[in-house]
């Protein structure tokens, strides 16, 4: 059987299970005696084992099998969970992640699992367990096999069947196992069975059939067949439906109960877990998951999505063109129709943007584990509070935001949070708190990383700055704090493994600017630091100001624009041989776009200055005139022109004109 | 009493079915020798049940099932098949036949199918 078609599904589901494992192991560390958590871990390992074995990834199957062995010992109280066990479990998880990554990358390299299995064996040996393998073998069999009574048909449910059945049950469907015996002189048995199945398909679904449907169709069966049927009808109704077909000797319908004990336990477990207040972060996720299950999902290739997005972009462009034409020629009828088209395209645009959105949870959920490791490594007690993980962002932003956040959290843990003694001396509670908060504000998504640590030491930064030759006189405190965003600026006296290699904050800042976001720093010495990141919800459709320089029109993203002022060129002053303007007592360096871009500007003295901000840099861009604000779709300018640093892309305006979009960050 | 339309190109088969049904208190709504006639009679008589042979000239049973179902989605039709017609039976089931009986007919099987189809 060709399994490659299942590969994507396998990887995705494995990722999901690994993530769950991660959460549950953390949970287990907090409540080592929580049987439900152990059961959940066990199930996830079991599912992984089933999947990987079906796919032929035997090393994954072997490792998860070993994990099951150990977990079973915990379930049976033969072993106690301690920190060493947790560490080994995390190591297992890391190894599994590596192996799944290997599968994803298509590498045939075999991961060595002997080390980790040895560790698992050691744990097993440390308990008073008599025979681990045997125990594992029994759990292997017990939940899976269900012998059909009074029938020779060997009826087994595999992991997938169980999954389907579980899902069906969650949706309140009845799941029946039905056994049908035909008259033993029945002719055209296949057609008979087919008729039974067809009657049933009308009000439910047959999820498993033994013999298989194919075998039945080829009459490769005796006079009995068994199947699992998911329906909203009662057992009685199902029986009647089957019996409405003639030449049936007997029908036996019984409710399917898979993993009887586990099912019941997990049902019990849910409310318990939810009432557990300590577990702030995993709670919303669970709620989320259950509500998600009610929806149906389609997996779509991201490339197709991008193409779709692009096409919608084209549509928007042409709509704008049509609108312009209709207003040029004053065609009322056309105008009305276009208004409709306009509404629909806006809706379409909204929709395609929403489709591309993902909850930041995808990024956030790796941090609890990281904090755990960090607090062990640093010997500090750190608590991570996550809020608003359901805030949605464009997929491309999600992909980029992980690394900067990682830096920020590491910084907080390493530099921000003080050692416990120091905290107690300062009258704080021993455990430090790092908060990771996301929410939406207008058309921006905000992500905050807050800690209640020692805050930035302005004096230290000042000293460091002066050492590196920066004149801090006349700088406000906030300006000094912002120096940490400068390249190569690190105040930590000792370079640790975690942060402080001098590539911290400036990298964060660059990355955030690259995706059109801004970063702000608030810090109070002794109280803590909070970094606020503002991100655009989407990247490809932006509001832009159109400006003219000479005969050329350019677009500038509104995100960069602070304000626009009109000036007379006589107001331009010179300092240090550089042109500046004075605006509200601020000296702002002036950049003549005509010079910068080598275009002949218009003569005349009445011009406009677009005051643009990129990060902490501000500059005035001198342009000849303004031609209004417009929603534009960013298009790549292609490889040939990729050397042009001044532009982020191009767009097509309503009048069909191709316009370049200025990269303010590169110009300022 | 329920009215049954018997469709078969062989008079012998019609006779046999008729006997079985009449003896057991069913009324015969009519007899047809092919699918086209079956549809005509069906429209007029609106029988409670049709027994439909598969292999017939002019219009076969499967096509007739489709057309009768198109006229009356609630039509109850039992196919009369022979050994070796498995796939055709399946086709007619897909087209909406309720059940099927296999030649040579055994009266109790015929009656079982008729009873079940009418219930």
Q: Which of A122, A146, A170 is the last residue of a domain?
A: A146
Alpha-carbon gap, residue A340 to A326, rounded angstroms? 14
| pLDDT given for residue B115 in this prediction | 92
Q: Which residue has the higher pLDDT, A197 or A500?
A: A197
Summarised one tens digit per residue, pLDDT across range A281-321 is 333 333 343 333 445 667 777 778 878 887 887 888 788 88
Evaluate whether residue A270 is within a structural domain. no
Q: In this model, does residue A429 exceed pLDDT 50?
A: yes
Q: Determine contact: A245 vs chain B, CB below 8 A.
A: yes
User: Are A607 and A624 a contacting pair, CB within 8 Å?
Assistant: yes
Distance in Å, alpha carbon of A247 to nearest chain B alpha carbon: 7
Mean pLDDT for A572-594 is 87
Which pTM value belongs to this model? Answer: 0.45
Give the residue among A135, A137, A157 at the shortest CA–CA distance from A146.
Answer: A157
Summarised one tens digit per residue, pLDDT across range A379-394 is 888 899 999 988 888 8
**Is the N-terminal amide bond of B104 cis, ω within 30° of 0?**
yes
Q: Nearest CB to A191: which of B89, B109, B119?
A: B89
| pLDDT given for residue A69 in this prediction | 80
Q: Which residue has the higher pLDDT, A101 or B79?
A: B79
Range of the domain at A577: 541-667
A562 and A430 within one domain: no
Alpha-carbon gap, residue A578 to A207, rounded angstroms? 77
Q: Nearest CB to A194: which of B93, B102, B109?
A: B93
A209 and A68 within one domain: no
Residues of chain A with C-beta less than 8 angstroms from the C-beta of B81: 188, 191
Pick among A189, A190, A191, A243 to test the B interface (most B CBs inside 10 A): A191
- Map residue A322 onto helix, strand or coil: helix
> Model confidence at A500, in pLDDT bands (50, 70, 90)?
very low
| pLDDT given for residue A278 in this prediction | 41
Residues of chain B with C-beta less than 8 angstroms from the C-beta of A194: 89-90, 93
| pLDDT given for residue A145 in this prediction | 36
A524 and A560 within one domain: no
Q: What is the CATH number of the domain that holds A501?
A: 3.30.565.10
Q: Determine contact: A187 vs chain B, CB below 8 A.
A: yes
Q: Determine contact: A240 vs chain B, CB below 8 A.
A: no
Residues of chain A with C-beta less than 8 angstroms from the C-beta of B113: 246-247
Residues of chain A with C-beta less than 8 angstroms from the C-beta of B100: 188, 191, 195
Residues of chain A with C-beta less than 8 angstroms from the C-beta of B117: 244
A121 and A12 within one domain: yes
The domain tally of chain A equals: 5
Q: Which residue has the higher pLDDT, A6 or B43?
A: B43
| pLDDT given for residue A482 in this prediction | 81
User: Are A456 and A481 a contacting pair, CB within 8 Å?
Assistant: yes
Please state whether beta strands A357-359 and A578-583 pair in parallel, antiparallel, or not at all (unpaired): unpaired
A608 and A471 within one domain: no
List of residues 6+ apart from A531 with CB closer than 8 A: A408, A448, A449, A450, A519, A520, A521, A522
Q: In this model, does residue A444 exceed pLDDT 70?
A: yes
Mean pLDDT for A568-582 is 86
Q: Nearest CB to A191: which of B100, B113, B116?
A: B100
A364 and A354 within one domain: no
pLDDT > 90: percent of chain A? 7
A182 and A40 within one domain: no
Is this complex's ipTM strictly greater than 0.85? Answer: yes
- Least CA distance to A242: which residue of chain B? B116
| pLDDT, mean over chain A | 78
Q: What is the CATH number of the domain that holds A348?
A: 1.10.287.560
Span of A178-182, A512-516, A520-524 with lowest mean pLDDT: A512-516
> Model confidence at A269, in pLDDT bands (50, 70, 90)?
very low
Give the residue among A610, A606, A601, A597 at the shortest CA–CA distance from A549.
Answer: A601
Evaluate whether residue A553 is within a structural domain. yes
Q: Determine contact: A188 vs chain B, CB below 8 A.
A: yes
A18 and A114 within one domain: yes
Residues of chain B with C-beta less than 8 angstroms from the C-beta of A195: 93, 99-100
| pLDDT given for residue A119 in this prediction | 83
Q: Which of A116, A146, A176 is the last residue of a domain?
A: A146
Mean pLDDT for A120-135 is 59
Q: Across the interface, do A187 and B93 touch by the CB < 8 Å criterion?
A: no
- Dig out the tokens for A391 from the structure: 């805030």
List of residues 6+ apart from A272 with CB closer than 8 A: A36
Span of A97-101, A232-236, A297-301 with lowest mean pLDDT: A297-301
Span of A27-31, A293-297, A547-551, A592-596 with lowest mean pLDDT: A293-297
Q: What is the CATH number of the domain that holds A605?
A: 2.40.50.180
Q: Which of A358, A382, A406 is the last residue of a domain?
A: A358
| pLDDT given for residue A268 in this prediction | 41
The domain tally of chain B equals: 1
Summarised one tens digit per residue, pLDDT across range A412-425 is 888 888 888 888 88
Tell me what percent of chain B is helix, strand and coil, each rounded to the nearest 5.
50, 20, 30
User: Are B95 and B65 a contacting pair, CB within 8 Å?
Assistant: yes
Q: In this model, does residue A475 exceed pLDDT 60?
A: yes
| pLDDT given for residue A504 in this prediction | 67
Q: What is the CATH number of the domain that holds B98?
A: 3.40.50.2300
Q: Nearest CB to A188: which of B102, B117, B119?
A: B102
A407 and A288 within one domain: no
Evaluate whether residue A267 is within a structural domain. no
Continuous H helices in A276-366: 282-293, 302-329, 332-356, 361-364
Q: Across the interface, do B90 and A194 touch by the CB < 8 Å criterion?
A: yes
> Model confidence at A616, in pLDDT bands (50, 70, 90)?
low
Interfacial A residues in 443-482 facing B (CB < 8 Å)? none
| pLDDT given for residue A129 in this prediction | 42
Interfacial B residues in 71-110 facing A (CB < 8 Å)? 81, 83, 85-86, 89-90, 93-94, 99-102, 109
Q: Which residue has the higher pLDDT, A495 or A455?
A: A455
Any idea which residues of A carry the catalytic annotation? 46, 68, 411
Summarised one tens digit per residue, pLDDT across range B18-44 is 888 999 999 999 999 899 999 999 999
| Longest distance between any two alpha carbons in chain B, whole Å | 34
A281 and A231 within one domain: yes
Range of the domain at B67: 3-118
Give chain B's end-to-end CA distance (angstroms, integer).
13
Q: In this model, does residue A131 exceed pLDDT 50?
A: no
> Model confidence at A54, in pLDDT bands (50, 70, 90)?
low
Q: Across the interface, do B85 and A198 touch by the CB < 8 Å criterion?
A: no
Evaluate whether residue A269 is within a structural domain. no
| pLDDT given for residue A108 in this prediction | 67
Q: In this model, does residue A97 exceed pLDDT 90?
A: no
- The alpha carbon of residue A92 and the mean position of all alpha carbons in its chain are separated, in whole angstroms, by 23
| pLDDT given for residue A3 in this prediction | 59
Q: Which residue has the higher pLDDT, A632 or A656?
A: A632
| pLDDT given for residue B29 in this prediction | 93
| pLDDT given for residue A495 in this prediction | 47
Alpha-carbon gap, residue B21 to B12, rounded angstroms? 14
Mean pLDDT for A509-520 is 81
| pLDDT given for residue A488 in this prediction | 63
Q: In this model, does residue A13 exceed pLDDT 80?
A: no
| Longest distance between any two alpha carbons in chain A, whole Å | 108
Mean pLDDT for A262-283 is 41
Evaluate whether residue A120 is within a structural domain. yes
Mean pLDDT for A19-29 is 86
Alpha-carbon gap, residue A376 to A83, rounded angstroms? 11
Distance in Å, alpha carbon of B92 to nearest chain A alpha carbon: 10
Q: Which residues of chain B fall below pLDDT 70?
A: none
Distance in Å, alpha carbon of B33 to nearest chain A alpha carbon: 24
A600 and A628 within one domain: yes
Q: In this model, does residue A656 exceed pLDDT 90?
A: no
Evaluate whether residue A494 is within a structural domain. yes
A510 and A398 within one domain: yes
Q: Across the interface, do B85 and A188 touch by the CB < 8 Å criterion?
A: yes
| pLDDT given for residue A281 in this prediction | 39
Alpha-carbon gap, residue B48 to B76, rounded angstroms? 7
């Amino acid at each position: 059987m060709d399994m490659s078609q299942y590969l994507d599904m396998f990887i995705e589901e494995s990722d999901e299970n690994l993530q769950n494992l991660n959460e549950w192991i953390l949970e287990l560390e907090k409540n080592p005696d929580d049987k439900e958590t152990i059961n959940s871990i066990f199930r996830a390992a079991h599912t992984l084992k089933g999947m990987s074995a079906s796919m032929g990834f035997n090393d994954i199957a072997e490792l998860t099998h070993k994990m099951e062995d150990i977990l079973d010992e915990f379930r049976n109280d033969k072993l106690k969970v301690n920190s060493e066990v947790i560490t080994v479990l995390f190591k297992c998880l890391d190894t599994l992640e590596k192996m799944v990554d290997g599968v994803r990358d298509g590498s045939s390299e075999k991961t060595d699992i002997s080390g980790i299995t040895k560790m698992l064996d050691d744990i097993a040996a440390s308990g008073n367990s008599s025979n681990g393998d045997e125990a594992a073998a029994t759990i292997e069999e017990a939940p899976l096999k269900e012998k059909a009574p009074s029938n020779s048909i060997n009826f087994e449910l595999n992991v997938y069947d169980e999954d389907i059945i579980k899902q069906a049950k969650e949706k309140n469907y009845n799941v029946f196992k039905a056994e049908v015996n035909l008259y033993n002189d029945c002719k055209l048995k296949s057609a008979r069975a087919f008729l039974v199945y067809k009657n049933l398909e009308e009000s439910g679904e047959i999820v498993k059939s033994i013999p298989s449907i194919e075998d039945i169709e080829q009459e490769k069966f005796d006079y009995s067949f068994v199947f699992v049927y998911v329906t909203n009808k009662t057992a009685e109704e199902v029986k009647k439906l089957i019996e409405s077909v003639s030449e049936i000797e007997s029908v036996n319908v019984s409710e399917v109960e898979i993993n009887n004990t586990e099912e019941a336990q997990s049902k019990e477990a849910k409310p318990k877990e939810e009432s557990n207040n300590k577990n702030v972060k995993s709670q919303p996720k669970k709620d989320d998951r259950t509500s998600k299950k009610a929806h149906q999902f389609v997996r779509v290739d991201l490339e197709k999505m991008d193409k779709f997005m692009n096409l919608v972009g084209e549509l928007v462009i042409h709509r704008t063109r049509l609108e312009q034409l209709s207003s040029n020629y004053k065609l009322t009828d056309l105008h009305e129709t276009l208004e409709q088209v306009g509404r629909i395209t806006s809706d379409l645009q909204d929709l395609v943007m929403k489709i591309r959105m993902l909850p930041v949870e995808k990024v956030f959920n790796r941090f609890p584990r990281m904090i755990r490791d960090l607090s062990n490594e640093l010997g500090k007690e750190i608590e991570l509070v996550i809020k608003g993980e359901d805030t949605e962002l464009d997929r491309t932003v999600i992909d980029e935001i992980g690394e900067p956040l990682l830096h920020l959290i590491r910084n907080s843990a390493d530099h921000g949070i003080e050692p416990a003694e120091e905290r107690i001396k300062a009258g704080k509670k021993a455990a430090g708190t790092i908060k990771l908060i996301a929410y939406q504000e207008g058309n921006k998504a905000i992500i905050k990383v807050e800690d209640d640590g020692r805050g930035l030491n302005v004096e230290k930064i000042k000293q460091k700055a002066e050492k590196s030759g920066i004149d801090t006189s006349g700088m406000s405190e906030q300006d000094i704090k912002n120096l940490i965003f400068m390249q190569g600026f690190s105040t930590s006296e000792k370079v640790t493994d975690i942060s402080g290699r001098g590539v911290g904050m400036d990298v964060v800042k660059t990355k955030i600017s690259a995706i059109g976001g801004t970063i702000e720093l608030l810090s109070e010495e002794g109280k803590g630091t909070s970094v606020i990141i503002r991100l655009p919800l989407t990247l490809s459709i932006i509001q832009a100001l159109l400006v003219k320089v000479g005969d050329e029109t350019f677009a500038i993203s509104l995100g960069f624009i602070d304000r626009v002022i009109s000036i007379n060129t006589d107001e331009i002053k010179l300092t240090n041989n550089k042109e500046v303007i004075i605006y509200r007592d601020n000296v702002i360096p002036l950049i003549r776009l005509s010079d910068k871009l080598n275009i002949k500007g218009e003569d005349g003295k009445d011009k406009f200055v677009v005051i643009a901000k990129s990060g902490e840099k501000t500059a005035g861009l001198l342009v000849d005139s303004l031609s209004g604000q417009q929603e534009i779709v960013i298009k790549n300018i292609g490889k040939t022109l990729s050397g042009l640093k001044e532009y982020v892309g191009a767009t097509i305006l309503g009048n069909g004109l191709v316009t370049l979009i200025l990269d303010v960050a590169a110009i300022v | 009493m329920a009215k049954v339309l018997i469709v078969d190109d062989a008079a012998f088969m019609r006779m046999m079915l008729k006997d079985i049904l009449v003896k057991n208190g069913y009324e015969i709504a009519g007899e047809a020798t092919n699918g086209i006639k079956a549809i005509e009679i069906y429209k007029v008589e609106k029988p409670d049940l049709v027994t439909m042979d598969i292999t017939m000239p002019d219009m076969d049973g499967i096509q007739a099932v489709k057309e009768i179902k198109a006229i009356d989605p609630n039509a109850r039709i039992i196919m009369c098949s022979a050994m070796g017609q498995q796939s055709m039976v399946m086709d007619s089931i897909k087209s909406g036949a309720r059940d099927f009986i296999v030649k040579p007919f055994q009266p109790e099987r015929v009656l079982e199918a008729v009873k079940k189809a009418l219930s």
